[in-house]
């Protein structure tokens, strides 16, 4: 364990000044990824539990109780269903209700995607910082060699190139996990949005079916079948 620690410390020391900003970018990106993972996991569980608790009310077709439920719960799926219920008080057109619920999805989406785009940006910044450190290290290497004694040129060139290569390597080391974290967080966000949209569609389908039953459509259809026979 001590050998690994000394290797890491020496690697950072030999990389020069650009190792510090790359380290800051890496720590910041990992902190964002960890916070987003915890938040999205909590949101996923909360949305699933809220919709499961809402299902018994959905079967009763009691609009007042459903509206009170959506106002008492802060989950995204609850707010979206609440938008649909509010629109149902104004119109019975399915397209209008669906549009209101889509607007609800657009309202909660920024909260789910908040700070996620920073991960890809920070990965690019880490890569560019590594490249910049490499270029500056090479410039310093050739400048040192030009003004150095012939006996010292080899050692100075080797040291400067080592600094440049370490900076490049650390930039890539920081960028790769951040890109992976960005992909994982984006996939998790998309899965939550898809589950919310599916729950909203189930709600809309059940409400449409309940309205059809109240209007007596099945009874009329049976009557038409008897006439046809």
| pLDDT tens track for 120-162 | 999 999 999 999 888 887 887 777 666 666 666 666 677 677 7
DSSP state of 148: S
Distances (CA, A) of 50 to 15, 29, 55: 51, 31, 9
- Tally of structural domains, the chain: 1
d(CA 5, CA 165): 20
Q: Is residue 200 part of a domain?
A: yes
Q: 44 pLDDT band (50/70/90 cuts)?
A: very high
Tell me the Ramachandran region of residue 75: left when phi exceeds 0, alpha when psi lies from -120 to 50, beta otherwise. beta
Does a structural domain hold residue 65? yes
Judge whether residue 181 has pLDDT over 60. Answer: yes
Residue 4 inside a domain? The answer is no
Q: Is residue 1 part of a domain?
A: no
| Position 229 in a domain | no
Contact 88, 133 (CB under 8 A): no
Q: From the CA atom positions of the chain, what is the Rg in Å?
A: 30
In the predicted model, is pLDDT for residue 222 greater than 60? no
Average pLDDT over residues 67-71: 88
Asked, for residue 2, whether it belongs to a domain, the answer is no
Domain containing residue 77: 9-221
- Residue 107 confidence (pLDDT): 86
Give domain status of residue 210, yes or no: yes
pLDDT at 63 over 80: yes
- Indicate the pTM of the whole model: 0.78
Burial class from Cβ neighbours inside 10 Å (0-12, 13-18, 19+) for residue 14 reads middle
Report how far apart, in Å, the C-alpha atoms of 38 and of each of 43, 44, 63, 125, 188 are: 9, 10, 34, 24, 11
pLDDT at 122: 94
Query: Is 226 within the bounds of a domain?
Result: no
Residues with Cβ within 8 Å of residue 135, at least 6 apart in sequence: 164
């Amino acid at each position: 364990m001590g050998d690994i620690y000394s290797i890491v410390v020496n690697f950072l020391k030999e990389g020069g000044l650009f190792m510090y900003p790359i380290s800051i970018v890496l720590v910041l990106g990992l902190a964002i990824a960890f916070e987003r993972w915890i938040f999205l996991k909590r949101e996923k569980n909360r949305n699933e539990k809220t919709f499961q608790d809402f299902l018994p009310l959905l079967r009763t077709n009691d609009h007042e109780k459903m509206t009170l439920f959506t106002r008492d719960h802060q989950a995204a799926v609850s707010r979206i269903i609440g938008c649909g219920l509010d629109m149902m008080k104004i119109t019975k057109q399915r397209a209008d209700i669906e549009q209101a619920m889509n607007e609800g999805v657009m309202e909660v989406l920024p909260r789910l995607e908040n700070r996620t785009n920073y991960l890809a940006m920070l990965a690019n910044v880490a890569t560019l910082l590594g490249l910049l450190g490499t270029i500056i290290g090479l410039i310093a290497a050739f400048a040192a060699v030009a003004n150095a004694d012939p006996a010292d040129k080899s050692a100075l060139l080797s040291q400067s190139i080592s600094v440049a290569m370490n900076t490049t390597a650390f930039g890539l080391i920081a960028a790769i996990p951040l890109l992976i974290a960005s992909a994982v967080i984006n996939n998790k966000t998309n899965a939550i949005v898809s589950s919310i949209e599916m729950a909203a569609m189930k709600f809309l389908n059940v409400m449409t079916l309940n309205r059809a039953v109240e209007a007596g459509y099945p009874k009329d259809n049976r009557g038409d079948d008897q006439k046809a026979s």
